[in-house]
Structure 1
Amino acid sequence: ENLSVVDDIDLAAQYEGEARFLRAHSLFNLVRLYGGVFVITETIDASDARNLERKSIEEAYEVIIEDLEYAYNNLPEAYGSSEVGRATKWAAGAELGKALLTEGSATSVARAETVLRDVATLSGKMLLDNYEDVFDFNNEYNDEILFAVRYQSGLLGLGSPFANLFSPLQSENAVIFGGGDELNVPTEGMEALYAANDARARTNFAVSWVDNSGNTNLERFVSKYNSTFSNVDDAPNDWVISRYADVILLLAEAINENNGGPNTEAIGYVDDVKLRAGQPVLTSSQTSTYFDFKLALEEERRKEFAFENHRWFDLLRTDRAVTVMNNHFVTDFQYNDPNETAFNTQPIQQFQTLLPIPQYEIDLNPSVAQNVGY
């Protein structure tokens, strides 16, 4: 609404592209979590807000895709060193490809393949040689990163809390400064998923830690966001939103969907990710059919993007959430420990793949419909 104050046409388009990229990113997360949500594309007053109704999922995706298409067509391909971290054309393309693939219509999936191939081949991004280097806080916004939430330590109010949130309880300063809250604990199933020589495992999480008395504690914890810092909740580590590995695995998925099975190109993208981790390439049994490849790709994404907040959305996109989670609850020891019955759980139902609308929102606006099942 205020872009007219910018005299430079190209700069105005960039600002609009950045704003629309961020709006689409937020709306994309919301619609995947809650289903139909409020879709706001212009300034409204409080009385209007209290009388809004939820839009459909389809209406939300119309705005998401339109915003991301605009951003993709109007954002710069890169910025100068002083502006690293702003959304680029390629960041918008990666998000657009994922949104199109998630929306799932035949037209959208075909468009997703085109966009993702352009990002993969034209962006200049690539897989780093070493997986751990992708997350090194001394190597942020490297050649694999398309977009990340930036953090900076030094008591500036810009530090990351995740190292403290994920490190073990009562670990004092033995793991990271200030100890941890022991949230997001890796399960036994996650530990068993990786081969012993998989380079990703020990970057993503540790299986033990040594306390200040020299005692070894056999506790798993997420270590992916750990670094050296001097104040609680003040780590310098960026949180990666999208990276090249995600783009090429999404492209492999799009190819599989569009062709009813994988081709050499799609298989090659997955093999590239596996080889970077020191793992053997896909076998013929993993690539012989559409569904075999889909399952192999699902497992590879789980290993590659552990604790990067992709897994749940991957399962929703492929309509595998209920099947996979219910199997997880039956087979993983954490949910069947006789000494920790509080963690026992019942199978989930399809309606639970969406969160309930918060009661606070319904209290503000009683016409807001609750999600079915809650």
Structure 2
Amino acid sequence: MKNILFTLCILLLVGTSCQESFLDLAPKSTISPANFFKTSGDAVTAVNGCYKSLAVGGQYGSTFQVLMENRGDNFSDQDPSSGAGQNFQINRFSDNPGNTNLYNSWIAIYSSIFRCNTVLESIDPIIMDNTLKNRIKGEASFIRALNYFNLVRLWGAVPLVTKTVDPVSARDLKRDAVSAVYAQIEADLKFAAANLPATYPAADLGRVTQGAAKGLLGKVYLYQKKYNDAKTILDEVINSKVFSLLPKVEDVFSATVKYHAEILFAVRFAKGIAGQDHGFWYANTQVIGVDTTIQKAYTEAGDQRKTLVDAVRPTGNGNIMPRKFLDQPVNNAAGNDFPILRFADVLLIQAEALNEIGYNASTAAGTAFAHLNAVRKRAGIKELTGTDLPTQESFRAEIYKQRRLELPFECDRWFDLVRRGTAIAEIAANKKITIQPFRLIYGIPQQEIDIMNNPSTFGQNPGY
């Protein structure tokens, strides 16, 4: 933590002009926040840097796919030698707090939070249009909330930092309660939802919208089992008619038409532009990483999602990867976006919330069955009724099944296993690995434990 704040208290990395879109940032220099924030253009540039921080290697550029997806049962790492076995250890539950993936993500997330805090602290004195000012604050608040949502799911209690902190004060940081972290996430997303527009012009495509803030808030509520709150906010997203399922599921992951009606929010990348592209996700040149259990899970005839987990190679490239994230390379790198929240997820979240509030066999519009069936129908499989799913538990099992089939490799599966309470059993059944309960969250990076050196306020997670 001290390392993060020492660097970022001195320098705020900002970008300059755009090449393809507002997220196409090519950092040219560093400058102190006190001297930088003078105009509305400065504020826009700074919040663009917040977006950019989500795309780095320690976040959705590469490491999140290891910490969030390789941990589950959709991926099997067969390469114990590469990278000193760091990814293999995560996949096989033999990791320790010294694993470099943990430190890389911790640093990247708190660096992103620092950028958001800097924007939120520095923008108020600027004389500018108030609607734009609140929009920028809403964007930074959303990104900060997303960062904390990832932190609390990965590590549990974490330092809640909502102001820029100098290196000396950083030594006083403590691990705050999970409930406090979630309260801040909710507050940030509510502010974002109240101050963000429903849509943007084409030049700003990819900025956080009101619907994205509400959708993520609904997901945050669901994780806390606040089902009525989730239902209320997700009704607003669904009834807004801003988002919709694409007719063909394979089009959702197009590497050319990337920000479409199904995407509430995605981390943007640009192929062929250094620093804005990424390596191939879930790729290996030697072995297939897609686990056989996810391939075999598509048991219903005609399910169009099955081919998306096929292991394929890009043209002229030795990597093997799931078809879902296939992108033909330029300079051996890809540029497809990573979806954080899409409409199919919203429908499944809402179906789950409604079922937890109370099972209802009706298939009328707006019911749990209607939302579930919208996802199933688009996948090319039959719609279900109360005869097929006659109980709350059977409906709950179907929701989690469809979440696995609809969202593999999108960083949801492991968290779904944990929040449902089935991670230990399903990892044992699908990966033949016996895990202990303490591994449902990760160990705090050992570097941070050593720097803080205060077990009473900054202790390690039990078991590590």
Query: Residues 79-118 of structure 1 correspond to what in structure 2 (within 5 A)?
Result: 79-104=200-225, 108-118=226-236
Distance 1:292 1:319 in 2: 16
Alpha-carbon distance change, 66 to 152 in structure 1, aligned in 2, over 3 angstroms: same
**Contact 2:314–2:328 (CA under 8 A) maintained in structure 1:** no
Alpha-carbon distance change, 94 to 211 in structure 1, aligned in 2, over 3 angstroms: closer
Distance 1:151 1:211 in 2: 20
1:3 to 119, 123, 147: 123
| Equivalent pairs, count | 335
Does residue 225 of the first structure (1) align with residue 325 of the second (2)? yes
Which residue does 1:255 correspond to in 2?
354
Q: CA deviation at 1:193?
A: 0.6
User: Match of 1:241, SS?
Assistant: strand
Alpha-carbon distance change, 357 to 94 in structure 1, aligned in 2, over 3 angstroms: same
Which residue does 2:304 correspond to in 1?
199
Q: CA deviation at 1:220?
A: 7.3
**Contact 2:314–2:327 (CA under 8 A) maintained in structure 1:** no
Alpha-carbon distance change, 188 to 51 in structure 1, aligned in 2, over 3 angstroms: same
**Contact 1:93–1:115 (CA under 8 A) maintained in structure 2:** yes
**Contact 2:215–2:341 (CA under 8 A) maintained in structure 1:** yes
1:309 to 388, 404, 411: 411
Deviation string, structure 1 residues 82-108 (Cα, Å, up to 9, x no partner) = 00011000111111000011122xxx3
Distance 2:313 2:138 in 1: 45
User: Match of 1:317, SS?
Assistant: helix
Which residue does 1:144 correspond to in 2?
262
Q: Which amino acid aligns with 1:2?
A: S
Alpha-carbon distance change, 199 to 260 in structure 1, aligned in 2, over 3 angstroms: closer
Q: CA deviation at 1:298?
A: 0.3
Which residue does 1:242 correspond to in 2?
341
User: Match of 1:38, SS?
Assistant: coil
2:423 to 311, 317, 321: 321
Distance 1:79 1:210 in 2: 33
Distance 1:141 1:373 in 2: 42
Distance 1:42 1:166 in 2: 36
**Contact 1:262–1:290 (CA under 8 A) maintained in structure 2:** no
**Contact 2:285–2:320 (CA under 8 A) maintained in structure 1:** no
Alpha-carbon distance change, 263 to 321 in structure 1, aligned in 2, over 3 angstroms: farther
**Contact 1:78–1:88 (CA under 8 A) maintained in structure 2:** yes
Q: CA deviation at 1:263?
A: 4.6
Once the two structures are overlaid, the 10-residue window that deviates more, 243-252 or 222-231, is: 222-231
Alpha-carbon distance change, 61 to 41 in structure 1, aligned in 2, over 3 angstroms: same
Query: Residues 4-153 of structure 1 correspond to what in structure 2 (within 5 A)?
Result: 4=124, 5-104=126-225, 108-153=226-271
Q: CA deviation at 1:69?
A: 0.7
**Contact 2:314–2:329 (CA under 8 A) maintained in structure 1:** no
Q: CA deviation at 1:287?
A: 2.2
Does residue 287 of the first structure (1) align with residue 287 of the second (2)? no
Deviation string, structure 1 residues 315-358 (Cα, Å, up to 9, x no partner) = 2222222232222233xxxxxxxxxxxxxx3x112221010111
Once the two structures are overlaid, the 10-residue window that deviates more, 221-230 or 294-303, is: 221-230
**Contact 2:314–2:326 (CA under 8 A) maintained in structure 1:** no
Deviation string, structure 1 residues 198-219 (Cα, Å, up to 9, x no partner) = 111112333x66998xxxx9x9
**Contact 2:265–2:341 (CA under 8 A) maintained in structure 1:** yes
Distance 1:80 1:272 in 2: 29
Distance 2:382 2:452 in 1: 55
Alpha-carbon distance change, 210 to 315 in structure 1, aligned in 2, over 3 angstroms: closer
Which residue does 1:370 correspond to in 2?
460
Q: CA deviation at 1:136?
A: 0.7
Alpha-carbon distance change, 18 to 348 in structure 1, aligned in 2, over 3 angstroms: same
Distance 2:360 2:152 in 1: 28
Once the two structures are overlaid, the 10-residue window that deviates more, 318-327 or 29-38, is: 318-327
User: Match of 1:242, SS?
Assistant: strand
Distance 2:427 2:323 in 1: 24
Scaled by the length of structure 1, what TM-score is found? 0.84
Q: CA deviation at 1:141?
A: 0.7
Q: Which amino acid aligns with 1:19?
A: A
Q: CA deviation at 1:361?
A: 0.5
Scaled by the length of structure 2, what TM-score is found? 0.69
Does residue 348 of the first structure (1) align with residue 435 of the second (2)? yes
Distance 1:149 1:204 in 2: 21
**Contact 1:267–1:287 (CA under 8 A) maintained in structure 2:** no
Distance 1:168 1:326 in 2: 24
**Taking CA–CA contacts closer than 8 Å with sequence separation of 6 or more, which of the two structures ends up with the larger relative contact order?**
2
Once the two structures are overlaid, the 10-residue window that deviates more, 242-251 or 286-295, is: 286-295
User: Match of 2:324, SS?
Assistant: coil
Which residue does 2:377 correspond to in 1?
275
Does residue 161 of the first structure (1) align with residue 262 of the second (2)? no
Which residue does 1:177 correspond to in 2?
none
Distance 1:211 1:85 in 2: 28
Which residue does 2:87 correspond to in 1?
none
Q: CA deviation at 1:117?
A: 1.2
Distance 1:73 1:297 in 2: 30
Alpha-carbon distance change, 370 to 211 in structure 1, aligned in 2, over 3 angstroms: same
1:189 to 293, 298, 307: 293
**Contact 1:262–1:293 (CA under 8 A) maintained in structure 2:** no
Distance 2:461 2:283 in 1: 35
Q: CA deviation at 1:268?
A: 1.3
